[in-house]
Amino acid sequence: MDAPLNLLEQHEILTRLRCPSCKKGKLDIQAEQAECRCLYSECGRTFSVYKNIPILINPDNSLFDAQEIIRQHKSIQHKRLALKQMLRKLLPDLVLNTITQQKIALFQQEILKTKTEATVLIIGGGVEGKGIASLLRNRNIRCIESDIYIGPRTNLICDAHDLPFDDASIDAVLIQAVLEHVLDPQRCVAEIHRVLTPDGVVYAETPFMQQVHMGAFDYTRFTHLGHRRLFRYFTEIDSGPTCGPGMALAWSFKYFLASLTSNRKLSKLLGVLASYLIFWVVYFDYFLIRHPGSYDAASSFFFLGRKATYPLEDGELIQLYRGLT
């Protein structure tokens, strides 16, 4: 897999950046001084640059702090983290995504329908998302891989509530397993709509039937229609379940078993035991994912759409229900 872009070497992308605080100023990035400055005279705010990664977070409207992000990255014991990741691979995987690879192929087709090259913003791209390898390999697509922490693929730090880009400057946005972790999903989707070009494309995957993950940074779930309404200022190309009822059931059993104790270490051990006992259930999703009942019981949903001027009306929304209840 190719290494992520060094944005400081991508002049054409840098010209699209703007201050996440005032939303007016272009940015003067000085990698040698490890900072960048807003050029709007009434703002002039400065932002950090760490290991060639611009950290463009609006401190007035974010839970995250640039210096804390840097401090946490410096304090990570990378050998211990690598060992933990290796041990996780020994556990049965309770995540079975049967759809994403196919939909990412469709996403790329839609992006390149009217252009030969495109820039895609990946929100939550600190690590490679499931099923997106073909997108990262596509020579006609440049990926800006953003996150709110410094991961192995992060080349931009930003908060989705205040995307640091000019209006209509991004060809497509991928946001996979992120919208459950933001305080205001509507604001984030409005930001996606703002930065997309008039024919811009969005692909999103968001949980429905999943338990809490990432602890305090987990806030929201969406039904299929709730997810569709979130993207009401987009014309739908495709949508539906991406992880099915089998995965939802497996997660429920794991969290049920882990909840039988208040001891954190014992709870984790029970979760490991549950993974070995229940992993086989997720394979039902190969058969269930396209059944109408999955719209009422899926673990997560996807939405693929193109930027629109007018919203989907709520009266039209309720006509789109595809489940069985």
At residue 25, does pLDDT exceed 90? yes
Residue 256 sits in the same domain as residue 211: yes
Residue 224: left (phi > 0), alpha (psi -120 to 50), or beta? alpha
Residue 45 sits in the same domain as residue 114: no
Last residue of a domain, one of 42, 75, 108: 75
Residue 64 sits in the same domain as residue 204: no
Q: Per-residue pLDDT averaged across 220-234, rounded?
A: 98
Residue 269 sits in the same domain as residue 175: yes
| pLDDT 10s digits, 243-287 | 999 999 999 999 999 999 999 999 999 999 999 999 999 999 999
- Cα–Cα dist 209/297, whole Å: 7
- Residues shown for the chain: 325
Q: Per-residue pLDDT averaged across 14-26, rounded?
A: 95
Q: Is residue 1 part of a domain?
A: no
Q: How far is CA 214 from the centre of its chain?
A: 14
**Which segment of 19-23, 91-95, 251-255 scores lowest on mean pLDDT?**
91-95
pLDDT above 90 coverage of the chain, percent: 90
Q: Is residue 122 part of a domain?
A: yes
Structurally, how many domains does the chain consist of?
A: 2
Residue 107 sits in the same domain as residue 66: no
Say if CB 21 and CB 45 are below 8 A apart: yes
Residue 162 sits in the same domain as residue 297: yes
- pLDDT confidence tier of residue 32, bands split at 50, 70 and 90: confident
Residue 218's CATH number: 3.40.50.150
- Core vs surface per residue 4-17: b (16+ CB within 10 A) or e: bbebbeeeebbebb
Say if CB 119 and CB 17 are below 8 A apart: no
| pLDDT 10s digits, 182-216 | 999 999 999 999 999 999 999 999 999 999 999 99
User: What CA–CA distances, in Å, run from 199 to 52, 64, 103?
Assistant: 31, 32, 18
At residue 1, does pLDDT exceed 60? no
Residue 19 sits in the same domain as residue 162: no
Q: Is residue 325 part of a domain?
A: no
Residue 71 sits in the same domain as residue 197: no
Residue 62 sits in the same domain as residue 111: no
Helix (H) or strand (E) holding 156: strand 156-158
Name residue, tokens 């839609």: 110
Name every residue whose Cβ is closer than 8 Å to that of residue 11 and which is 6 or more positions away in sequence. none
Name residue, tokens 């029970």: 270
Residue 195 sits in the same domain as residue 58: no
pTM here?
0.95
Residue 142 sits in the same domain as residue 61: no
The range of the structural domain enclosing residue 206 comes to 84-320
| pLDDT 10s digits, 129-185 | 999 999 999 999 999 999 999 999 999 999 999 999 999 999 999 999 999 999 999
Last residue of a domain, one of 55, 75, 95: 75
pLDDT of residue 90: 74
Q: Is residue 259 part of a domain?
A: yes
- Cα–Cα nearest to 48, from 157, 143, 163: 157
Residue 98 sits in the same domain as residue 14: no
Q: Is residue 2 part of a domain?
A: no
Token digits of residue 187: 């604001």
Q: Per-residue pLDDT averaged across 88-95, rounded?
A: 84
Last residue of a domain, one of 75, 99, 124: 75
- Cα–Cα nearest to 188, from 199, 198, 179: 179
- As a whole number, the mean pLDDT across the chain is 94
